[in-house]
Structure 1
Amino acid sequence: MWQLGEPWWQLVVRGSVVYLVLFVLFRLSGKRQAGQMTPFDLLLLLIISNAVQNAMIGQDSSLLGGLLVALVLLGWSHLLGWLSNRSRRLERLLEGRPEVLIHNGKIFDDILQRNQISQEDLLAALRRQGVFSVADVAFAVLETNGGISVKKRSDG
């Protein structure tokens, strides 16, 4: 139970490599909040987690090995969060920049496509914020966390 099946440093390296590679892949795959995940997104996430499990722990099935890898993953998450809070440039690199999806009622389809957001998803996000017509939108912004902020046009 407490005897490692792999050297501790190998578990640290494996966990680090998997974390960083997945971080880059998910960062490149677009912005989407957990609440906006489709069943396909959830399925993909579950399959990926199962697929990388052995890459992280190798032949180790000990409790200590699993806890060590979990600590490594949490450590990377904390470190990247701390670094992004310290540096605006690194924050933009790690988290991206907000992107304008709609400006004065005009939808930017290229930005929707690049972030894998359908027009239906965009319209649903507008409705959740009480906007039922794209023409009523001064601007809508895709935030770095995947949320969509909307500013209505003023009536005056």
Structure 2
Amino acid sequence: MNPYLDIALRSVAVYVFMVVALRLFGKKELSQLNPADIILILLISNAVQNAMVGPDTTLLGGLVAATALLVLNFILKKAMHRFKSVEGLLVDKPQILIHNGKLDFKLLSKLDISNDELKEAIREHGIEHFTEVKLAVFEPDGNISVISGDVRLRETHYKRRKAKKTLVRAQ
């Protein structure tokens, strides 16, 4: 077999493995990286490098591996946009954690979101207590979006965002 075809096939296999592994371990792990997460990513990349390029440590071997990964990623993104079933396999749907001040304890437990993590997310949105939350959603990217039941808070956040956009346009 052609050594560069071998590198491309190995790279594709590692890519598919990593997509499946990250899907199984969940999006929460990627939402906000801490030092241990960054170290893990670096070690995984080092661990799979040899699996992709084998004994070939040449520049061309590395470029072939990178090209194979980029092409596969491009194809996967196109397939996700065209076929919703592919997207459903790879990307979770947003999930409602709090609705009108009522927490979904089963879902929080299933997603392994602690009380402290949820409190931190609502505090980041200027809300003090769960009962003040109209909607809290666990997004596909692993972040928690929070909408306040207090109209004044929503207007304040909107005005601040709008003011920033106006400043950017003026410059």
Larger Cα-atom Rg: 2
- CA distance in 1 between partners of 2:36 and 2:5 (Å): 35
Provide Cα deviations, 1:90-149, integer angstroms capped at 9, x if missing partner. Answer: 212111111111222233344334334332222222222222211111221111111222
1:61 correspondence with 2:46 = no
Structure 2, gaps ≥5 residues long: 152-171
1:85 to 81, 93, 102: 81
1:43 correspondence with 2:53 = no
SS for the counterpart of 1:101 is: strand
1:146 correspondence with 2:138 = no
**Preserved contact between residue 101 and residue 107 of structure 1 (Cα < 8 Å):** yes
C-alpha distance 91-76 of structure 1, shift in aligned 2 (>3 A): same
Q: Quick one: higher RCO (CA 8 Å, sep 6+), 1 or 2?
A: 1
- CA distance in 1 between partners of 2:38 and 2:109 (Å): 20
- CA distance in 1 between partners of 2:72 and 2:110 (Å): 27
**Preserved contact between residue 101 and residue 111 of structure 1 (Cα < 8 Å):** yes
1:17 correspondence with 2:1 = no
Segments ≥4 residues shifted beyond 6 Å? none
- CA distance in 1 between partners of 2:79 and 2:29 (Å): 22
TM-score by length of 1: 0.85
Report the structure, 1 or 2, having the larger helix content: 2
1:27 correspondence with 2:23 = yes
1:99 to 88, 95, 101: 95
Q: CA offset at residue 68 of structure 1? A: 0.8
User: Identity of counterpart residues, as a percentage?
Assistant: 40
Report how many residues are paired.
150
1:132 to 125, 128, 131: 128
What is the RMSD of the two structures over their aligned residues, measured on CA atoms?
Answer: 2.0
SS for the counterpart of 1:150 is: strand
**Preserved contact between residue 30 and residue 114 of structure 1 (Cα < 8 Å):** no
